[in-house]
Amino acid sequence: MKAISEFYTLLNETKKPKKVMITMHQKPDGDAMGSTLALYHFLIKLGHHVQVISPTNWAPFLDWLPGAEQVWDYEKTKLFSDATIKAADWIFCLDFNVLYRTKSMEPAISQAGAVKILIDHHEQPQVAAFDYGISIPEKSSTCEMVYDFIVGSGHHDKIDPLLASCIYTGLMTDTGSFRFPSTTASVHAVIADLKNLGLDHSKVHEHIYDSNSEERLRFLGHSLLKRMEVLYEYNTAIMTIPKADLLTFHTKTGDTEGLVNYLLSIDGIKFGAIVIDRDEERKWSFRSKGDFDVNQFARQHFNGGGHKNAAGGNTPDSLTETVQKFKKVLLDYKSALS
């Protein structure tokens, strides 16, 4: 993988419009959708033909993002998407480190002849899969890195209020609204710049955080009341969501997002884990405060990864089995968590 600065040269020397495909991890979150759409608007302004393809659907609270209406869901557009991926000159991969995070899109991307560019902040990227790229785990978000990409390639003037709102979305969601340690001085400097360029940050907060349905809020209440277990000796809290709850409350994609953060809001809790009984797998989300490394934990025990303080994983085991395994594995972390 060559340095992204070498790609800047290619970008700026290219005179003819390129066919560009931009993608992100499956079930895209605010950072994945925000960063791909920011890059979309930027490359359109440079005159390229750009298609954003998400490996799966996404939460409805991201639909307001400028450009979201033109994003394809690979699972619903496989034929068109495969042709677009095959014909692409450039493929940008944003907010994921390993190709399998694009789920059923992985074979099409691997086989594509395009120049592949990675922009990401997850640990241990699959560097052999990309021609150019940048991977900085210390970065708050991929959105911050897309801002750096636009400015670094000499195009600060292309950032307008709509593009700024895409960038702000990922900065805000991936930093837990600017509270995680990843919120550096540069994050605030980027936001100051976006504000000067006309960003309406209150609107972004409203779109993302004040768009609950009544059912989603009742699902949250039910989960906190009935599905949470606090393991004080381990400073750990766990939430187990059975499939029946998802059906009862008619949960939609995104409705379970953020649940895990409530666990860490309990005084003294350093490790929060939630497992959700999805059709195809039991999906884990892990969050920690301080030194406890959930990326390592997810990699070692639950077939996953992510960042030091936020990671995920999955297993084909049943809900009961995987929770039993979690509790067994936890025994070995007593000293690390106390």
Binding partner of residue 102 among ligand 5GP, Mn ion, none, CB under 5 to 8 Å per kind? Answer: none
Select 142 or 288, whichever has its Cβ closest to Mn ion: 142
Select 96 or 302, whichever has its Cβ closest to Mn ion: 96
Over the window 44 to 83, marking each residue x when it contacts Mn ion by CB under 5 A and - when it does not, the resulting string is: ----------------------------------------
Over the window 305 to 324, marking each residue x when it contacts ligand 5GP by CB under 6 A and - when it does not, the resulting string is: xxx--xxxxx----------
Strand, helix or coil at 119? strand
Amino acid at 168: Y
- In the complex, minimum distance from the CB of residue 125 to ligand 5GP, in angstroms, rounded to a whole number: 10
- In the complex, minimum distance from the CB of residue 304 to ligand 5GP, in angstroms, rounded to a whole number: 4
Binding partner of residue 55 among Mn ion, ligand 5GP, none, CB under 5 to 8 Å per kind? Answer: none
Half-sphere exposure of 29 (CA within 13 A, CB side): 18
Pairwise CA distance, residues 217 & 249, whole Å: 10
Only segment of 28-36, 81-89, 148-156, 251-259 that touches Mn ion (CB under 5 A): 28-36
- Structure token pair of residue 93: 């991969």
DSSP 249-316: TT--TTTTTTHHHHHHTSTT--EEEEEEE-SS-EEEEEEESTT--HHHHHHHHSS-EE-SSEEEEEES
Pairwise CA distance, residues 170 & 174, whole Å: 6
- In the complex, minimum distance from the CB of residue 311 to Mn ion, in angstroms, rounded to a whole number: 12
- In the complex, minimum distance from the CB of residue 115 to Mn ion, in angstroms, rounded to a whole number: 23
Instruction: Mark residue 66 as left, alpha or beta (left: phi above 0; alpha: psi -120 to 50; beta: remaining).
Output: beta
For 178, the enclosing helix (H) or strand (E) is: none
Query: Nearest Cα to 33, choosing from 3, 4, 73, 5?
Result: 73
Residue pointed to by tokens 């025990």: 301
- Binding test (CB under 5 A) with Mn ion, winner from 21, 31, 256, 284: 31
Over the window 19 to 38, marking each residue x when it contacts ligand 5GP by CB under 6 A and - when it does not, the resulting string is: ------x-------------
Over the window 181 to 200, marking each residue x when it contacts ligand 5GP by CB under 6 A and - when it does not, the resulting string is: --------------------
CA distance readout (Å), 253 to 5, 104, 181, 256, 320:
36, 18, 28, 8, 23
- In the complex, minimum distance from the CB of residue 276 to ligand 5GP, in angstroms, rounded to a whole number: 10
144 binds Mn ion (CB under 5 A): no
Select 314 or 322, whichever has its Cβ closest to ligand 5GP: 314
What residues line the site for ligand 5GP (CB under 6 A)?
25, 98, 122, 285, 304-307, 310-314
What residues line the site for Mn ion (CB under 5 A)?
31, 95, 142, 174
